[in-house]
């Protein structure tokens, strides 16, 4: 009888191991690196900057946030991190502070393997955007003063210039951006202009809108100067061009051809702040900023050309489209930097409607993959709230959450 009991326990343990293996590998993708095996395709999760570390928060509350990219022991400076999911849900791209004022673009393919190193693409700033096929990334590439100061700048391969750049097709905003950068560089040289010694700039400077493979291969410079990508459709890459106070929305084909204007704010001193392309590529949500720092939401139809002003006063931030491209969520506050509330607006409807109560320090709303709930950061923690409900579920209690992004699956 005792022998039989031991045999049964062995069978149960073996069966349990098979089940655990099946659960652990279910949903695994083929994009992971061979050295660590395939990455896990997470479902219903939120990628988050939690205290400068990239973690995965589980919207079904099944477990505590899981580490994806930790801080290094020697990193005692302030770290910001902006995660962006690939459309297939298998990879994460993120820009992250690496030292001082510098940021770099990383790609993590082996999700669920925090011991695996993320691929570092190069100096960058702002949020990157993925191609619809999840195989390329558009980002604003930057110079690396630290590398130049150490004599390493010449070792980096410069992105290949596009045909549009060769033709000199830069708009006024881009030309102004480059002109200001050149004048600052000449002023900083001062009396030592004739010296052969090259001084590194004090801060990173924009190289331009660059497209690169998700492994860092085949970099190509599409637009020089200040050009922040905001979305990539089957037709074009959309970006905000120009220096602060003179920014407009433009689009360029992924092959570097047909650089064209999309939206420029009317009125003295008004300009485009942030913007977000809908998942279906039909429309774009735009923050239009006034000289007094107030801003309103404008939604523009890309095919019909019609633009609708959604809000009339206050200040908006954190634009996020629902998966079907029919609703946009955002944070509306009485003034820039003041507490506000999360709002949502449906295409074709009238006024925006509130999702949350007023008075919290809300930021970064993000739609869940089903489109029936919104995740957001309130007072440094992550919450998830179903549309139509006044109750929100709190996912974290660390108080150090910043940018978040819900998985597309």
pLDDT of residue 60: 84
For 162-188, the pLDDT digits (tens) are 544 433 334 444 444 443 333 333 343
Averaged pLDDT, 256-272: 96
- Give the residue among 251, 229, 259 at the shortest CA–CA distance from 165: 259
For 182-221, the pLDDT digits (tens) are 333 334 334 444 444 545 556 788 999 999 999 999 999 9
Q: Which two tokens stand for residue 13?
A: 């343990």
pLDDT band, very low/low/confident/very high, at 1 (cuts 50, 70, 90):
very low
Q: Can you give the pTM of this predicted structure?
A: 0.81
> What's the whole-number average pLDDT of the chain?
82
pLDDT of residue 115: 87
Element (DSSP H or E) covering residue 17: helix 2-25
Distant-in-sequence, close-in-space partners of 104: CB < 8 Å, separation ≥ 6:
95, 96, 98, 120, 121, 122, 123, 124
Q: Taking the CA atoms of 190, 196, 197 and 202 in sequence, report the sign of the dihedral they define.
A: positive
- Domain limits, the chain: 80-189+197-264
- Select the highest-mean-pLDDT range: 139-148, 182-191, 196-205, 363-372: 363-372
For 12-57, the pLDDT digits (tens) are 333 333 323 232 323 323 333 334 456 777 899 999 999 999 999 9
Q: Taking the CA atoms of 102, 124, 156 and 216 in sequence, report the sign of the dihedral they define.
A: positive
């Amino acid at each position: 009888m005792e022998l039989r009991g031991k045999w049964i326990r062995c069978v149960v343990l073996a069966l349990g191991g098979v089940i655990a293996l099946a659960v652990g590998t279910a949903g695994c993708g083929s994009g992971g690196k061979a050295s660590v095996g395939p990455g896990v395709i997470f479902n219903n999760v939120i990628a988050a900057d939690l205290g400068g570390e990239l973690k995965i928060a589980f919207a079904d509350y099944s477990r505590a946030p899981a580490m994806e990219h930790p801080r290094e022991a020697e990193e005692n400076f302030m770290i910001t991190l902006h995660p962006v999911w690939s459309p297939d849900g298998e990879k994460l791209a993120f820009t992250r502070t690496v030292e001082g004022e510098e940021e770099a673009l990383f790609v993590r393919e082996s999700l669920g393997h925090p011991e695996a190193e993320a691929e570092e693409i190069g100096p960058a700033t702002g949020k990157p955007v993925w191609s619809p096929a999840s195989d390329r990334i558009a980002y604003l590439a930057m110079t690396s003063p630290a590398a130049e100061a150490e004599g390493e700048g010449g070792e980096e391969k410069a992105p290949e210039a596009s045909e549009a750049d060769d033709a000199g097709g830069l708009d006024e905003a881009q030309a102004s951006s480059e002109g200001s950068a050149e004048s600052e560089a000449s002023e900083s040289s001062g009396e030592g202009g004739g010296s052969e010694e090259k001084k590194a700039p004090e801060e990173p400077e924009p190289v331009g809108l660059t497209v690169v493979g998700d492994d860092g291969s085949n970099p190509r410079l599409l637009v020089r100067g200040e050009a922040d990508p905001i979305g990539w459709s089957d037709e074009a890459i959309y970006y905000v061009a120009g220096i602060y106070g003179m920014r407009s929305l433009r689009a360029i084909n992924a092959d570097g051809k047909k650089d064209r204007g999309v939206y420029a704010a009317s009125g003295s001193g008004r300009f485009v702040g942030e913007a977000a392309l809908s998942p279906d590529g039909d429309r774009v949500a735009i923050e239009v900023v006034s000289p007094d720092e107030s801003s309103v939401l404008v939604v523009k139809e890309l095919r019909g050309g019609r633009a609708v002003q959604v809000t009339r006063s206050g200040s908006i931030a954190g634009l996020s489209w629902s998966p079907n491209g029919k609703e946009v969520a955002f944070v509306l506050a009485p003034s820039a930097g003041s507490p506000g509330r999360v709002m949502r607006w449906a295409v074709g409807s009238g006024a925006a409607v509130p999702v949350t109560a007023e008075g919290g320090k809300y930021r970064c709303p993000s739609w869940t993959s089903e489109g029936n709930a919104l995740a957001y950061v309130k007072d440094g923690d992550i919450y998830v709230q179903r549309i139509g409900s006044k109750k929100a579920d709190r996912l974290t209690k660390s108080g150090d959450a910043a940018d978040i992004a819900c998985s597309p699956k």
